[in-house]
Amino acid sequence: MVRKVVIGNATLYCGEALEILRQLEAESVDAVVTDPPYSSGGQYRGDRAAGSCSAKYQQTGTKKQYPEFLGENRDQRSFAMWSTLWLTAAVELCRSGAPVCTFTDWRQLPVTTDYMQAAGLVWRGVLPWDKTPAVRPVAGRFRAQAEYVVWGSKGPMPLDRPVKCLPGAYSIRLDPREKQHMTAKPVELMKSINAICEPGGVILDPFMGSGTTGVAAVEEGFRFIGIERSPEYFEIACERIASAQSQAKAA
């Protein structure tokens, strides 16, 4: 059963993304900014088949334990097909020219550029996110300190949109005190990505996790629609977004 919570200018849904996307109003969204499950958390197929995401993303028992998140164990073909389905549904909700930004890692970067085009978007580029040398080192290897935002748009993007030229790469460290999800992104990073949306527009995140994109959106005056399948992370997102709304009103 889908649960809906409205917090100020944010509307949050707890349920399966594809089901909810198909119920929302067409051409009502100004941008999609999301961080879907990568289904690539390990080096080998057996790593993806593991029942716990913690085994892939947390290497020691001394780290903070986070709720498990869902949708992480698809193989390459099913990941590509599933991603095409949810993104196609999200594109139906976008107004003409709306930007779409989705995170990925190096393993899924090729298939992410594929499913973005399969969903009918104009693929416009790849933004590297340098997580800084604070990420875990492995001797004898290049440090895996980058993730990526693949972005595109629903058809042509007018050059007179009220959005300035944005950086083509970001170097922002995640403060561990800010982290409330195994694969969390920094709020400042999400503010930077959200800036591709026209001021005051509606940002959709079909995989909001602990709500970081929503926090960044409401702090910058955007309207927000978020979807999260995990009840545990949905509650965390509601609390964080409600707190951000209160602080925005007090400012």
Please tell me the predicted confidence (pLDDT) of residue 72. Answer: 62
**pLDDT at position 214 over 60:** yes
Largest CA distance in the chain: 51
What are the tokens at 43? 């080096």
User: Which H or E run contains 234?
Assistant: helix 231-250
Q: Is 147 left (phi over 0), alpha (psi -120 to 50) or beta?
A: beta
Please tell me the predicted confidence (pLDDT) of residue 172. Answer: 95
Please tell me the predicted confidence (pLDDT) of residue 62. Answer: 42
What are the tokens at 79? 């990941």
**pLDDT at position 113 over 50:** yes
**pLDDT at position 155 over 80:** yes
Give all domains of the chain, ordered by start, each with its CATH number. 3-250 (3.40.50.150)
**pLDDT at position 103 over 60:** yes
Sign of the CA dihedral with 134 first, then 137, 140, and 144 last: negative
Instruction: Using the CB atoms, write b or e for 130-140: b if 16+ within 10 Å.
Output: ebeeeeeeeee
Please tell me the predicted confidence (pLDDT) of residue 134. Answer: 74
Query: What mean pLDDT value characterizes the chain?
Result: 88
**pLDDT at position 57 over 50:** no
pLDDT band at 144 (very low <50, low <70, confident <90, very high): confident
Q: Which residue matches tokens 């998140």?
A: 69
The 10 Å Cβ neighbour count of residue 147 is 21
**Between 181 and 109, the higher pLDDT residue:** 109
**pLDDT at position 50 over 80:** no
pTM of the model: 0.87
